Structure 1
Amino acid sequence: MSRHAQHPVRGVDEHRRAVTEALWDIRPPAETVPLRAAPGRVLAGELVAPMSLPPFDNSQMDGFAVRAADTGPAADVDVELVVDDPVPAGVVPGPLAGGRAAPVMTGAPLPAGADAVVPVEEARPSGFPPAGSTVRIPAGQPAGRFVRRAGEDVLAGETVLEAGQRLTPARIGLAAALGLDRLSVRARPRAVVYTTGDEVVPPGTARGPAQVYDANAAILAAELAEAGVEVVAARLVPDDAPAFAVRLAEDAELRPDLFVSSGGVSEGAYEVVRQVLEPHGEFVHVAMQPGGPQGLARAGGVPFVCLPGNPVSTLVSFEMFLRPALTEVLGHPAPRPRATAPLAEAVRPLPTRTQVRRAVWDGTTVRLVGGPGSHLLTAAARADALALLPPGGEELPAGTPVELVLLDGGRPGAASAGPGRGRGSGGAD
């Protein structure tokens, strides 16, 4: 009997919901930041317009501001008007008298009395004649033509953005147009990261013959930073449960919003995270490969998300569970784009588990890179997508559509697959 059959197995969607629920009470305080620091942040409260947009009636294009009534009914004739003083953008004009046309630039205020703008290319002669001369324009101009009315976009006092919305470039531009140079946003959540194992050493240090360098701390720190989470400490802990318990108690003094670990969650003899936290949470198998062993707990009232320890398992688990949970709870990071694309080659899925394969998407088809093994990090580095292969007993032929999680902003071909290496069947997940 496989170890996956020894315990109840949780579905992928069910575990994503469980992680979301575990994080639901994370509510970072508000802080005020300048607009240049606001991209991707989340509004702490609703944004109410302090002024109307546009703030005044203005011209939608270069042309002549006129009184529509002066142009008479529509007819196959032109009307002749006297050219008034020009109105550049940024200048407050005087009122427009009857029978006159004021040259007006795009965005310039409309003179009082004017209610229409005639594009300069429709006038005769072409261009802007000097003040005091005459200009002929088509008769029958409708009131409101090419006029941007004050408050047409938003009225002062209206709520334009809701609390919890992520600040995109357009939303930041709206705040700037309203004259705001600072915004109240949610502070970045704070996380402590743990990686485990006597066999793991930090990059840049001496490595023993039976040791490997710690890739997981770097993966988690990068994923959390991209997700808008501040890593306040990253610890490499040995296979010593009492030592880990002491370390965890000390790190609670940092007052993090979240603990995240990789490794130590399965069923071996040195699963220190599980040994310390199992009384305070749950450790399950998820019907997914890689990333089957998962845990959720609380340490000192703080949510603790426990991920498996192989590097690709850590990466895939973050993308499948923790990142979407952060998005739902905090509004940040932006959701990964998803797509459906046909397989470039046949592949056999797992009978009872969703298989998450590293892949390259060219905008048309998806090609798997590397094998399914959770240690094949080079293949993960080449990938720009995760291909979700549903459980099944039959081979999926080339051309079968599969769901993709797009990792590089949804840009096809953002990563190169490189030479086809590392196609082993993989090990523990």
Structure 2
Amino acid sequence: MTSPQRLPTSLTPLDKALDALLQGVEPVAPVELPLVEALRCIAAEMPPLKAHPPRDVAAVDGFAFGARDLVGASSYSPLPLTTPPVWVEAGDAMPEACDCVLDSDSVDVSGPLPQVLVEAIPGQGVRRAGGDIAAGSLVVEAGRRVRPRDLLLARAAGLDRLNVRRPRLRIVNVPGGNVTADLIAESAQAAGTEAVYFTAAGRDAASVAAALDDGACDLLLIVGGSGVGRTDAAVAALAARGTILSHGIALQPGRTSAAGRLGKTPVVVLPGAPDQAFAAWWTLALPVLDRLSGRRPRKTVNLPLARKIASGVGIAEIVLLERKQDLWATLAVGELSLDAIARAEAWLVVSGGSEGFAAGSPVDAYMLRG
């Protein structure tokens, strides 16, 4: 009988495990993707846009005029016109010498001579050149996530493709953890990766090792089989094919997580339990994906804590938070229920060198929504 996996006598500090995992990891090469595929990916360098609209256009349907020609016009003193006014539809280029648009009720065309009944100011009813997109602006800055409103700018500018970085992610599911593997796969898709999903033929080391492939991905995730149970063999499988950097990380939950390499490809072994897998996903896998995609540092939201967070020294603990009246309310510390994961709006890590935070202390938390 094969000897079961064992954790080392001492756990690896989270920061050391992450530093080793990130060693040598560089951003992937940019690719041009259709707009729909570029959504949620991280933008690479892009050329500046031309002004849009390229010239003044009507913002509303109506009659086009020069504002200075209408000075003094009112319903009590209509301004007669010697020539018929020019009608424009919203989006039409403005005629020469015209800088405003009046609606149909502002011009009386029922008599023999059209009459203007109101004054106007320059730019009224007009969208100026560059009013939607200023010349030299960008669809999205390099290192930022492509959002739906960025695609609006791209389409308005006439673009059908965007230059982005999209890491290739291979997820190997160890049988028995489908719920967790599906959760990680969906999270990976939301992170803008090109993810492929495989299930190993069995839980034994040979079956898991057969599913590992570093040639088709930039990051390899193994979900399940990281513990010391009799059927856990994911770490042994990785050791047979590659290198183990750390197994047994000072992280709660997620202490049976592992990090390694298959060739030059970074590998994260996530536990099969959803809460432990999410902890390793947030603290180990996401930083690697951010490095691969060239993402700028993730923004945090700083708010005071509604109550004290106590933590044991030596273990980094995950804290789930929700926002209540401009305070961070704690949902869970170290032990994460599925309900807390579903309700959480943000998370943070209490480092292994800290005993926690006092009530009222401002803390920076990473957002899980939006």
TM range (shorter): 0.7 to 0.9
Structure 1 unmatched runs, 5+: 91-105, 203-212, 410-429
CA shift in 2, pair 1:143/1:17, >3 Å = farther
Give the residue type in structure 2 aligned to 1:319.
W
Greater Cα radius of gyration, structure 1 or 2: 1
- Partner in structure 2 of residue 327 of structure 1: 290
- Cα deviations across residues 257-291 of structure 1 (Å, max 9, x unaligned)? 32101345567887634334456251165543223
How many positions carry a matched residue from both structures? 357
Matches for 1:206-355 after TM superposition, within 5 Å:
214-236=178-200, 240-248=204-212, 251-252=213-214, 255-265=216-226, 272-278=233-239, 280-283=243-246, 286-330=249-293, 338-343=301-306, 345-355=307-317
Q: By how many angstroms is 1:322 displaced?
A: 1.9
- CA displacement 1:376-419 (0-9 Å, x = unmatched): 4454344443354455776755544444333233xxxxxxxxxx
Aligned equivalents of 1:156 and 1:395: distance in 2?
A: 49
Residue 143 of structure 2 contacts residue 296 of structure 2 at CA under 8 Å; is this kept in 1?
no
Q: Aligned runs of 1:156-171 on 2, under 5 Å?
A: 166-171=145-150
* Distance change in 2, residues 1:240/1:4 (3 Å): closer
The answer as to whether partners of 1:117 and 1:146 remain within 8 angstroms in 2 is yes
Taking CA–CA contacts closer than 8 Å with sequence separation of 6 or more, which of the two structures ends up with the larger relative contact order?
2
> Offset of 1:129 from its aligned partner?
1.2
Conserved? CA contact 1:349–1:393, under 8 Å: yes
Hey, what's the Cα distance between the residues in 1 that align with 2:352 and 2:228?
Answer: 24
Question: What is the distance in 1 between the residues matched to 2:32 and 2:356?
Answer: 51
Is the aligned partner of 1:373 residue 2:335? Answer: yes
- SS state of the match for residue 215, structure 1? helix
1:112 aligns with 2:96: yes
The superposition leaves residues 187-231 of structure 1 with CA deviations (integer Å, 9 ceiling, x where unpaired) of 8544332344xxxx54xxxxxxxxxx5433222222212223344
Aligned residue runs from structure 1 range 25-424, under 5 A: 25-27=27-29, 29-31=31-33, 33=34, 35-42=35-42, 46-47=46-47, 49=49, 52-60=51-59, 65-67=64-66, 70=69, 80=79, 82=81, 84-90=83-89, 107-114=91-98, 116-117=99-100, 127-130=106-109, 132-135=113-116, 137=118, 147-151=126-130, 166-180=145-159, 182-186=160-164, 189-196=167-174, 201-202=175-176, 214-236=178-200, 240-248=204-212, 251-252=213-214, 255-265=216-226, 272-278=233-239, 280-283=243-246, 286-330=249-293, 338-343=301-306, 345-369=307-331, 372-373=334-335, 376-389=337-350, 396=357, 398-409=359-370
Render the CA deviation track for 1:68-125: whole Å, top value 9, x for unaligned. 554679xxx98945275344444xxxxxxxxxxxxxxx544322122x327669xxxx
In structure 2, give the amino acid aligned to 1:330. Answer: S
Name the stretch that deviates more: 224-233 or 142-151.
142-151
Distance 1:70 1:291, change over 3 A: same
- Judging changes above 3 Å, is the alpha-carbon distance between structure 1 residues 385 and 350 closer, same or farther for their aligned structure 2 residues? same
Partner secondary structure for residue 192 of structure 2: coil
CA distance in 1 between counterparts of 2:352 and 2:123 reads 61
Identity %: 25
Question: Once the 2 structures are TM-superposed, how far is the Cα of residue 328 of structure 1 from its aligned partner?
Answer: 4.4
Preserved CA contact (<8 Å) 2:185 2:197: no
- Residues 8 and 162 of structure 1, relative CA distance in 2, 3 Å threshold: closer
Q: Secondary structure at the match of 2:187?
A: helix
Local SS of the residue matching 2:108: coil
Instruction: Report the TM-score, using the length of structure 1 for normalisation.
Output: 0.64
Q: Deviations over 1:146-165 (max 9, x none)?
A: 65443455578986556665
Distance 1:170 1:162 in 2: 13
Q: Please give the alpha-carbon distance, in whole angstroms, between the structure 2 residues aligned to 1:389 and 1:218.
A: 27
Contact 2:345 2:368 in 1 (8 A): yes
Per-residue Cα deviation, 1:39-85 (whole angstroms, up to 9, x for no partner)? 32455662554x64113322456776444554679xxx989452753
Closer/same/farther in 2, CA of residues 384 and 230 from structure 1, 3 Å limit: same
The one-character-per-residue Cα deviations of 1:23-51 (angstroms, maximum 9, x if unpaired) are: 425337444x2x455432455662554x6
- On the 8 A contact 2:173/2:199 being kept in 1, the answer is yes
SS at match of 2:275: helix
Sort the Cα spacing of 1:394 and 1:110 in 2 relative to 1 into closer, same or farther, 3 A.
Answer: closer
Given residue 57 of structure 1, which amino acid in structure 2 is its aligned partner?
A: D
Q: TM-score, normalised by structure 2?
A: 0.73
Q: In the superposition, relative to structure 1, how do residues 78 and 62 fare at CA in structure 2: closer, same or farther (>3 Å)?
A: farther
Q: Secondary structure at the match of 1:40?
A: coil
Contact 1:285–1:294, Cα closer than 8 Å, also in 2: yes
